[in-house]
Structure 1
Amino acid sequence: MKLFLIAGEPSGDRLGAALMAGLKQLHPAVQFEGIGGPAMQAEGLSSQFPMEDLSVMGIAEVLPKYLALRRRLHEAARGVLAVRPAALITIDSPDFCLRVARLVKDVEPELLTIHYVAPSVWAWRPGRAAKMARVIDHVLALLPFEPPYMTAAGMTCDFVGHPVVAEPAATPAQAQAFRAAHGIAPRAPLIVALPGSRRSEVTRLIAPFGAALREVAARHPELRVVLPTPRHLADHVTQATEGWPGQPVILTAPDVATRTAAFAAADAALAASGTVSLELAAQNCPMVIAYDMAPVSLWLMRRMARIDTVTLVNLVSETRCVPEFIGNDCRPDRIAPALLSLLETGPGPQAAAMRLTMDRLGRGGEPPGLRAAASVLAHLA
């Protein structure tokens, strides 16, 4: 049995890898084709082209790369049709993936299409669910409140849990070992900075992040900073953080154990909006969320938004414990006081919100990748 998988960014790559591992466990003869990053390739995928070609977000950011993305779109669709898989499984990146599904369905309408990660229609653009139902048969949802939105639009949907709950929490010993390995004193205040996994995000956020950390370092001169980054952005991040305070430790494409140890070792995190807030919560690392994008993208997002927070920990826990600074609020003079509060008074209500989030996402149950694989095989049957 052959399956064609498409992921367009690092978080999708990790989802795809966990799904592939689950599929191999339940159906050892499965074979994979498609597009993915290093995690999916480690599970046996030979990517048709670099996944990084698709890691673009926001209207203003996409426009300069429109022609290249269009070529990749048709290349991916041709790849699916050539393989003739038992199913096409698209993973997140809906602007690209659903267009591929539409091109494929135009030629092979009976091909089973599965999309992993329900679109956030509860947050904005609710009409996306109905449009998605024209080309997607089944959805694998990460959040427990999403299936009703998908079934109402005409698709089947299973809540499979969020893969972040399957990652083991780093122990205190591992956290201290991380500090020791990188020359960070046991009691030095440590902030992990996460300005995103896309070049456009990092370019826009690196300056306000650095300026906010300078304000923190003015009160805490012993501050240290750790900054994980994807391999394709390592040089860019290294150059952009020259002059940052805290003797930044750049972690290039860290493995899961190193990344979780870094989060557990940190006293606080400054992160871009996205799945990383859940990864931090899994390691009990309190956080401040800050995000900015091109003005036209931000204007459109705000006009369409149906929620008052973009942070997943806030949404899943149904609290508003995690401070966030979006758009015009993504300013060092606003971010720094929130970070200082975490360093000086501790996580406060965030601690309970992070625990509740993990419980609601399936912590303690069957691994989400295995649940997702079982859902795929059930619909193939």
Structure 2
Amino acid sequence: MKIFLIAGEPSGDRLGAALMAGLKDLTPGITFDGIGGPLMQAEGLESLFPMEELSIMGIAEVLPKYFPLKRRIAQAAEAALASGAAAMVTIDSPDFCLRVAKIVKASRPGFRTIHYVAPSVWAWRPGRAAKMARVIDHVLALLPFEPPYMTAAGMTCDFVGHPVVSEPVATTAQAAAFRQAHGIRPDAQLIAALPGSRRSEITRLARPFGESLAALVPQTRDLRVVVPTPAHLEGHLRSLIADWPGQPVILPAPDVATRTAAFAAADVALAASGTVSLELAAQMCPMVIAYDMAPLTLWLMRRAALIDTVTLVNLVSETRVVPEFIGPDCRASAIAPRLLDLLGKDSTSQDAAMALTMDRLGRGGEAPGLRAARSVLAALPR
């Protein structure tokens, strides 16, 4: 059996790799074609082209890449149809993946299409579910409240759990060892700065993040900063944060153990909006979320928004304890005081919300990658 997979960014690469591992456990001899990053390639995928070409977010940001992306869409669809795969699993990146699925379905209506990560129709543009149902047969949902939205639109859907719950929780000893390994004193105030996994995000957020950190220096003791980043963006990141305070420790493509230890070692995190808030919550690292985007993208998203928070910890826990600063609010004068608040007092309210979030995402159950694999196999044509 063969499965054709498409992932377009690092978070999708992690999902795809776990899914592939689960499928290999359940179906020995299974093979894969498609597009993915280093983690999926380690599981046996030879990527059709570099996944990084698809790691673009935002309407205004995509426009300059329109024609190259259109060519890649056609190339991916042609490869999927020629692969002989039993199904195509597209992972997140809906702007790219659903266009590929549209071409595939138009050419071969019986080709089974599965999408991993339900669109956030509970947040904005609810009509996306019905539109997606024209080209997708089955959905794998990361959040427990999503399946009813998908089934109402005409697709089958399983909640498979979020992969963050299967990652190890770093111990106190591992957190201390991380500090020691990187020359960070035990009593230093360590901030994990996470300005995103896409070039456009890092470019836009490096300045307000750096200014926020600089504003903390007079009011903190021995401020240090750790910055994980995708390997292919390391050089770009280094050039953008050269003037950051805190002697930043850059972690290019850290493995899971290093990343979790870094988050556990940090006193607080300043992070871009996205899945990283869940990764921080798994390590019980209190956080402030900040994000900015092109003015046109921000205006369109705000007009379509159905929710009052973009932070997944707030949504899953049904609280609003994680502060967030979006668009014009993404500035040091707003962000720095909240970081100081978290550095200067306990984070009991965030602790409770983070623990509840992990429980609701499936902590303690079967690994999400294996649950996703079972769901994929069950959705294949009989």
> In the TM superposition, what whole-angstrom CA distance separates every residue of 1:21-66 from its partner, at most 9, and x where no partner exists?
0000000111000000001000000000000000001111001111
Cα distance, 1:221 vs structure 2: 4.4
Cα separation, 2, equivalents of 1:210 and 1:149: 39
Q: Which residue does 1:57 correspond to in 2?
A: 57
Q: Is the 8 A contact 2:170 2:264 kept in 1?
A: yes
Counterpart AA for 1:140: L
Paired residue total: 381
Q: Is the 8 A contact 2:88 2:113 kept in 1?
A: yes
Q: Which residue does 2:375 correspond to in 1?
A: 375
Cα distance, 1:308 vs structure 2: 0.2
Q: Which residue does 2:244 correspond to in 1?
A: 244
Cα separation, 1, equivalents of 2:249 and 2:152: 47
Q: Which residue does 2:74 correspond to in 1?
A: 74
Cα separation, 1, equivalents of 2:320 and 2:267: 20
Cα separation, 2, equivalents of 1:346 and 1:168: 24
Cα distance, 1:346 vs structure 2: 2.4
Counterpart AA for 2:237: V
Cα distance, 1:259 vs structure 2: 0.3
Counterpart AA for 1:89: V
Cα separation, 1, equivalents of 2:379 and 2:198: 33
SS in 1 for 2:90: strand
The alignment's TM-score, normalised by the length of structure 1, stands at 0.99
Cα separation, 2, equivalents of 1:107 and 1:125: 27
Cα separation, 2, equivalents of 1:119 and 1:268: 29
SS in 1 for 2:348: coil
Cα separation, 2, equivalents of 1:76 and 1:99: 10
Query: 5+ unaligned residues in a row in structure 2: which ranges?
Result: none
1:201-280 to structure 2, matched below 5 A, reads 201-280=201-280
Cα separation, 1, equivalents of 2:244 and 2:161: 38
Cα separation, 1, equivalents of 2:194 and 2:244: 14
Cα distance, 1:281 vs structure 2: 0.2
Matched, 1:166 2:166: yes
Q: Which residue does 2:299 correspond to in 1?
A: 299
Q: Which residue does 1:33 correspond to in 2?
A: 33
Cα separation, 2, equivalents of 1:38 and 1:376: 22
Q: Which residue does 1:122 correspond to in 2?
A: 122
Cα separation, 1, equivalents of 2:337 and 2:301: 26
Counterpart AA for 1:374: R
Cα separation, 1, equivalents of 2:347 and 2:262: 17
Q: Which residue does 1:15 correspond to in 2?
A: 15
> In the TM superposition, what whole-angstrom CA distance separates every residue of 1:291-313 from its partner, at most 9, and x where no partner exists?
00000000000000000000000
Counterpart AA for 2:21: A
Q: Is the 8 A contact 2:188 2:221 kept in 1?
A: no
Cα separation, 1, equivalents of 2:129 and 2:234: 36
SS in 2 for 1:184: coil
Cα distance, 1:347 vs structure 2: 1.6
Cα separation, 2, equivalents of 1:314 and 1:187: 30
Matched, 1:323 2:323: yes
Q: Which residue does 1:195 correspond to in 2?
A: 195
Moved over 3 A (4+): none
Cα separation, 2, equivalents of 1:227 and 1:65: 28
Cα separation, 2, equivalents of 1:149 and 1:341: 38
Cα distance, 1:84 vs structure 2: 2.3
1:276-355 to structure 2, matched below 5 A, reads 276-355=276-355
1:95-134 to structure 2, matched below 5 A, reads 95-134=95-134
Identity %: 75
Cα distance, 1:376 vs structure 2: 0.6
> In the TM superposition, what whole-angstrom CA distance separates every residue of 1:133-164 from its partner, at most 9, and x where no partner exists?
00000000000000000000000000000000
Q: Which residue does 2:5 correspond to in 1?
A: 5
Cα distance, 1:348 vs structure 2: 2.7
Cα distance, 1:191 vs structure 2: 0.2
Cα separation, 2, equivalents of 1:294 and 1:76: 28
